[in-house]
Amino acid sequence: MQTYTWNGDYPLYRVLDENGVVCGQLPSLSDDKIIEMYRWMIITRYFDQRAVNLQRQGRTGTYAPFSGQEAAQIGSFALIEKDDWLFTSYRDLAGLMYYGFPMHQSLFFSMGHPFGGHVPEGMNVLPYQIIIGAQILHAVGTAWASKLKGENRVSVTYFGDGATSQGDFHEALNFASVYKAPVIFFCQNNQWAISVPFQRQMATPTIAQKALAYGMEGIRVDGNDIFAVYNAMKRAVERGRAGEGPTLIEAVTYRLGSHTTADDPTRYRDANELMEWKDKRDPIIRLRKFLENKGIWNESMQKDAEQQAKVLVDEAIAAAESFPKPNPAEVFDYVYSTATPDLVEQKAKFLQHGGRER
Amino acid sequence: MANLTMIQAINEALGISLEQDPRTIILGEDVGHNGGVFRATEGLQAKFGENRVVDTPLAESAIIGTSIGLALNGMRPIAEIQFLGFIFETMDQIASQAARTRFRSQGRFHVPMVIRTPFGGGVRTPEMHADSLEALFLHTPGLKVVMPSNAYDAKGLLLSAIADPDPVLFLEPMRLYRLYRSEVPTEPYQIPLGKAKVVREGTHITIVTWGPMVPVTMDAVKQLQEKHNISCEVIDLRTISPIDTETIIQSVEKTNRALVVHEAVKTGGVGAEIIARINEKALYSLEAPVRRITGFDTPYPMSMVEDHWLPNSEHIINAVLETVNE
């Protein structure tokens, strides 16, 4: 009898080492483009800190911070075109804001304002997903439709390491490979699914290797290395557009903050582990070192960028807090295309006197 | 006009949709080459090709989840779940995803799709194939639920469901697939969703029923007329969600008595909702308590037991006599 267990090594793809020194092939990006991406990392990091503080001050509700994952998100969102399809989780606001999702609207989700889900026209971005992994299948569906219609679009879905344990993850990868759908499965392995570490989430040493079982290409990339992420995503997007089917990308990164503002990671996470990632592997520090080594960034530019971030985020917070409050009667309007007789009746009574009686 | 079984009428409606709308795509387990385990999609893949009538891998959640994506990106998916008893595998994709996308996006996105699925007892299926689960989906805002009781309604309701901009769960009583034939126009026609049908007018009592219990009820009311001279009005609900309250209330105000008959388990069933509505809007018209004839509050039993479990015309006759004589 011959049995087989794959014990191969799934290498971590890198372009910048932890000191910001080039150790691979740099993408062909202009200095301006790289600086733009770096500025957005600063802006979104600042946004994240402010969003947590707003919750602490009671100005917003539960918020899921993304700090530490800016390179994984911005480096990959940079390849997504406006007519592509995007299905994210709730921890992907850095990428979404860089992509063009309005910053003030990004706060609505944690403020509990229903307008958060009203994605602006002109972008095929679905309201971010709450149910872990459910969106992965939707991306396969839109990608499949693009293929059937002969359109040159890709669908991209973002999810975390925990989502790979869901049945929907498996079903989605299987369907995508069967239909050779132009979809990119972008997994940010941030090491923790609330309190459960990666090693207890799965027995395999990597997520990327799961691609092998579906007959699709998999890439394991340093998610805190924006150039490696960019290159990996570029290849996946180009393969999708060329009709070569789906790709699974595992971006190895780290959630520097809590799962959400309702979570206390000191209960389950070793402080040394956090310091290791925070001090040595922060994606923003790494890119800054690269820029400074290249001589295209300095302390005064950094101060300007931080000031610009503060202005943008302050404006967004002011815009969010002064945005008209939701009209509660609108809950009846978006259940069906045309309100049912029951909803018409309930709305009329609600509008009359807030009542519910018959 | 043709004299068709319900399964033929469904097949015809699906063919019309594929013919008329290039966005239509049928997907599910065994729906392509095999034409579906009940032959609902027979001949369609051969006629319209493998990209329009698609055999999927065996995964209910993915069938619905990818249908959502197909619908978002401009297609009109008609997904088949092979048996309603398997639908729990995809409850999240139906209830939290398909039914909620319009609401979550404030109308920016919506999911026009149909989920067809056979259900119900009386045909000696294996375990977990026969459950009647319509109440779960009546309790799911954003979803419409439709259930035909004959071939004519099946075709017209299915074409309406396919044209509807919201997700529709189309429940097909498998016992009725080939039990009766009815005259079905060859051309396309739509029966509006949300409208019940008074299938028999009467004066002594209103019986509200749907799907597989419609023929059982019709048999009972015939006997009640012949043997007891009791005139029953029968409403075939046809759409479970949204419920056509108006038709029910109008009838109860006329007959002053009511009975609800469904195959699904009793507690928390659609019958309970209908009786609540009668209480809210027509209580003072009632001359007797409203009764229910339903399945028992047990899991659907094995096939050797099912005939004892299912409501039959005798149960209905007894309940009507009890209610009318009160």
Q: Which residues on chain A are in Cβ contact (under 8 Å) with B195?
A: none
Predicted structure pTM score: 0.97
Q: Which residues on chain B are in Cβ contact (under 8 Å) with A159?
A: none
Cβ <8 Å between A115 and B106: yes
- Tell me the pLDDT band of A30, cut-offs 50, 70 and 90: very high
Q: How far apart are CA A195 and CA A258, in angstroms?
A: 10
Of A148, A337, A358, the CB nearest to B166: A337
- Tell me the pLDDT band of A6, cut-offs 50, 70 and 90: confident
- Tell me the pLDDT band of A353, cut-offs 50, 70 and 90: confident
Q: Which residues on chain A are in Cβ contact (under 8 Å) with B69?
A: 85, 137-145, 155
Based on the residue annotation, tell me whether A104 is a catalytic residue of this protein. Answer: no
Architecture of domain B2-184: 3-Layer(aba) Sandwich (3.40)
The Cα of B306 is separated from the nearest Cα of chain A by a number of Å equal to: 33
Tell me: the pLDDT tens digits for A128-142? 999 999 999 999 999
Tell me: the pLDDT tens digits for B157-180? 999 999 999 999 999 999 999 999
Cβ <8 Å between A127 and B105: yes
Tell me: the pLDDT tens digits for B294-311? 999 999 999 999 999 999
Q: How far apart are CA A128 and CA A15, in angstroms?
A: 30
The Cα of B146 is separated from the nearest Cα of chain A by a number of Å equal to: 14
Q: Which pLDDT value is given to residue A357?
A: 63
Q: Which pLDDT value is given to residue A9?
A: 81
Tell me which of A119, A144, A332, A345 to substitute to probe the interface with B (most B C-beta atoms closer than 10 Å).
A144
Tally Cβ neighbours within 10 Å of residue A101. 21
Tally Cβ neighbours within 10 Å of residue B74. 14
Cβ <8 Å between A142 and B144: no
Whether chain B has a CB inside 8 Å of the CB on A114: the answer is yes
Q: Which pLDDT value is given to residue A4?
A: 86
Tell me which of B18, B52, B73, B164 to substitute to probe the interface with A (most A C-beta atoms closer than 10 Å).
B73
Tally Cβ neighbours within 10 Å of residue B241. 26
Tell me: the pLDDT tens digits for A173-204? 999 999 999 999 999 999 999 999 999 999 99
DSSP-derived secondary structure for A255-267: --S-SSTT--GGG
Q: Which pLDDT value is given to residue B99?
A: 98
The Cα of A32 is separated from the nearest Cα of chain B by a number of Å equal to: 34
Q: Which residues on chain A are in Cβ contact (under 8 Å) with B66?
A: 137-138, 140-141, 144, 172, 175
Catalytic site residue from B129, B139, B228, B308 = B129
Of B65, B72, B141, the CB nearest to A134: B65
* A-chain residue closest to B277, CA distance: A358
Instruction: Tell me the count of A-B CB pairs closer than 8 A.
Output: 140
Strand partners, B235: B198, B208
A188 CB contacts (<8 Å, ≥6 apart)?
Answer: A69, A72, A73, A91, A158, A159, A160, A161, A223, A251, A253
Whether chain B has a CB inside 8 Å of the CB on A214: the answer is no
Q: Which pLDDT value is given to residue B1?
A: 87
Cβ <8 Å between B68 and A145: no
B70 CB contacts (<8 Å, ≥6 apart)?
Answer: A141, A142, A144, A145, B25, B27, B77, B113
Tell me: the pLDDT tens digits for A290-322? 999 999 999 999 999 999 999 999 999 999 999
Q: How far is CA A24 from CA A13, A85, A291, in A?
A: 9, 30, 16
Cβ <8 Å between A175 and B69: no
Q: Which residues on chain B are in Cβ contact (under 8 Å) with A175?
A: 56-57, 59, 62, 66
Q: Would you call A188 helix, strand, or coil by DSSP?
A: strand
Based on the residue annotation, tell me whether A255 is a catalytic residue of this protein. Answer: yes
Q: Would you call A13 helix, strand, or coil by DSSP?
A: strand
Q: Which residues on chain B are in Cβ contact (under 8 Å) with A131?
A: 92, 96-97
Q: How far is CA B115 from CA B8, B67, B109, in A?
A: 18, 9, 19
Instruction: Walk me through the domains of chain A, giving residue ranges and CATH numbers.
Output: 31-324 (3.40.50.970), 327-358 (no CATH)
Delimit the CATH 3.40.50.920 region(s) of chain B: 197-324
Q: What is the CATH number of domain B197-324?
A: 3.40.50.920
Q: Which of residues 135-194 of A touch B (CB under 8 A)?
A: 136-146, 148-149, 155, 167-168, 171-172, 174-175, 178
Reading the block at residue B151, the tokens are 């071939």
Tell me: the pLDDT tens digits for B115-138? 999 999 999 999 999 999 999 999
